[in-house]
Amino acid sequence: MIAEELRQSKTDTKRRTPMAVNNPQKSAKELVSVSDWNACLNSGDNMLVLSCKVTTSDSSATIEGVGLILNSAQGATLASLYTELSGGVESASPALNLAPGNLAVGDTVDAVVSGEVGTQHYFFDQKLTIGIC
């Protein structure tokens, strides 16, 4: 069994290829920035909206995945999404639209954006007060 695993690992270059970083001197948090955080209630269609903008700060790095997580102030996950971006991009604007449930204007939520830049994972969180869209 061990001999078979060794033989397989020698022929499986995908498993043996180390993950390379676009710029090994920079962490994922240095390669991307997050701006334009927004949590608001659109009373016209009774939808809660969570959005932000993720941008690369290094032209050698591209965003290859982005996701959003909406948590209540008590820490319960209310909604999430993640998408892989084929070919990578320099900027992404993920957004969630959902029924507000028990949330209202003035409530606080915890928003999280996460994803992949180069071969590194990033994670940013932000407390937001729900406003009116």
pLDDT score of 120 more than 90: no
Least confidently predicted of 5-14, 23-32, 66-75: 5-14
User: What local confidence, expressed as pLDDT, does residue 29 receive?
Assistant: 72
Domain ranges of the chain: 30-132
Average pLDDT in the 73-91 region?
92
- Let me know the angle formed at the C-alpha of 103 by 97 and 104, rounded to the nearest 5 degrees: 100
Q: Which residues contact 45 (CB under 8 A, 6 or more apart)?
A: none
How many Cβ atoms sit within 10 Å of the Cβ of residue 120? 21
Residue 7 CB contacts under 8 Å (≥ 6 apart), including other chains:
none
The Cα 23–Cα 38 span in angstroms is 30
Evaluate whether 128 touches 111 at the Cβ level (below 8 Å). Answer: yes
User: What does the pLDDT read at residue 25?
Assistant: 64
CA separation for the pair 77, 10 (Å, rounded): 42
State how beta strands 91-92 and 47-56 pair. antiparallel
- pLDDT single digits (tens) 83-115: 999 888 999 999 999 999 999 999 999 999 999
Domain boundaries 30-132, corresponding CATH code = 2.60.40.2060
pTM of the model: 0.76
- The 10s digit of each residue's pLDDT in 29-68 is 788 999 999 999 998 999 999 999 999 987 788 999 999 9
pLDDT reported for residue 94 = 96
